[in-house]
């Protein structure tokens, strides 16, 4: 699952997956802005067949947060 998430970020941001670790902060480390995040969320929803309400994004800042969130929605590794 982590590889799929990293691929989505790489496609959207043009950032190498080598720079993406579990504790990488999207805004601080990768420069993700709100538009990037919106587009990434749409791709995550499509890839993993989940709905991610905007208000739940406040607690999602790292790749580990994304993986934990997806697992909480029933997505399996």
Q: Which residues are catalytic?
A: 33
Of the candidates 1, 77, 75, 5, the one whose C-alpha atom is nearest the C-alpha of residue 40 is 5
22: left (phi over 0), alpha (psi -120 to 50) or beta: alpha
């Amino acid at each position: 699952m982590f590889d799929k998430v990293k691929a989505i970020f790489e496609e959207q941001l043009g950032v190498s997956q080598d720079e993406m670790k579990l504790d990488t902060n999207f805004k601080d480390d990768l420069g993700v802005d709100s538009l990037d995040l919106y587009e990434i969320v749409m791709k995550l929803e499509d890839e993993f067949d989940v709905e991610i309400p905007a208000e739940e994004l406040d607690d999602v800042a790292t790749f580990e947060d994304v993986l934990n969130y997806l697992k909480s929605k029933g997505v399996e590794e």
